[in-house]
Amino acid sequence: MTERWVEILLTSDALEAAMVKDLLESGGIKVVSRSNKVSPYPVNIGKIGEIRLYVRETDEFLAKKLIGSDADR
């Protein structure tokens, strides 16, 4: 069976993404991050600057609770 992953955070702030990822992982939740940033170019405009965090669908409620997000979003 294939695991489904859901997006729980969309940000352009790398520090925010790292802090949320660390918080969730410290709670035992596996997190995958995706970004369109190209490392030599510190561009943070539009979709190029987006960082997305994903968790397993089964962890979505707990993850949103831990980060204080609206669980029904």
Q: Which of 59, 9, 7, 10 lies closest to 30 in space, CA to CA?
A: 59
What token pair was written down for 18?
């790292």
Q: What is the CB neighbour count within 10 angstroms for residue 9?
A: 21
pTM for the structure as a whole: 0.79
CATH of domain 5-67: 3.30.70.1530
Supply φ then ψ for residue 9, to 5 degrees: -150, 135
Tens of pLDDT, residues 5-23: 999 999 988 899 999 999 9
Task: Quote the DSSP letter at residue 72.
Answer: T
Q: Which sequence spans correspond to the domains of the chain?
A: 5-67
Question: What parts of the chain have a pLDDT lower than 70?
Answer: 1, 37-47, 70-73
Q: How far apart are CA 4 and CA 44, in angstroms?
A: 28
